[in-house]
Amino acid sequence: MTATVTSVIDGDTVVIDDGERVRYLMVDATELSSDDCWSTEARQANSDLVLSKEVELEFDVDRRDMFDRLLAYVTVDGVEVNTRLVERGFACVLHIPPNGNDRLSEFEALETAARDANRGVWGQCTEVACD
């Protein structure tokens, strides 16, 4: 499914042109509403990647969460946003089975590399709220 991102809620959630909220699979960014460390930077990174751009949404087993948001891997210009946010330290891994079962080790490796390199939250925050 393709869509255009019309607004960015935070580091892991966007709104697309049909009004649906899309929550990124396997990603947990710090919360803007709690004023968590690195939440503004995560939202900006997400915005820089997707705002006003056409994206491809790829679904897994469960297409919606308990808040009725679409759950998806999001790709823009050939770059998967979910992995990019984790590898650059803008988000942690959040695995809620059955979604992501086949990609868990990939995402965990990206988070470990970000931690080891002190990228993003791992180098800037004394307490990582999404950890």
Which distant-in-sequence residues (6+ apart) come within 8 Å of 65 by Cβ? 23, 71, 96
Bridge partners of residue 92, in order along the sequence: 28
Cis peptide before 97 (omega within 30 of 0): no
Q: What is the mean pLDDT of the chain?
A: 95
Active site residues: 23, 31, 69
Residue matched to tokens 């469960």 = 62
pLDDT of residue 131: 58
Give domain 2-124's CATH number out of 1.10.357.10, 3.40.366.30, 3.40.50.150, 2.40.50.90: 2.40.50.90
pLDDT of residue 47: 98
Is residue 64 within 8 A of residue 25, CB to CB? The reply is: no
Across 17-36, average pLDDT: 92
pLDDT of residue 35: 78
Tens-digit pLDDT profile for residues 32-65: 877 788 999 999 999 999 999 999 999 999 999 9
Overall pTM > 0.85:
yes
In angstroms, what CA-CA distances link 112 with 34, 95, 109?
A: 25, 15, 5
Our CA angle for 39, 57, 7, nearest 5°, is 45
Across 75-94, average pLDDT: 97
Is residue 94 within 8 A of residue 28, CB to CB? The reply is: yes
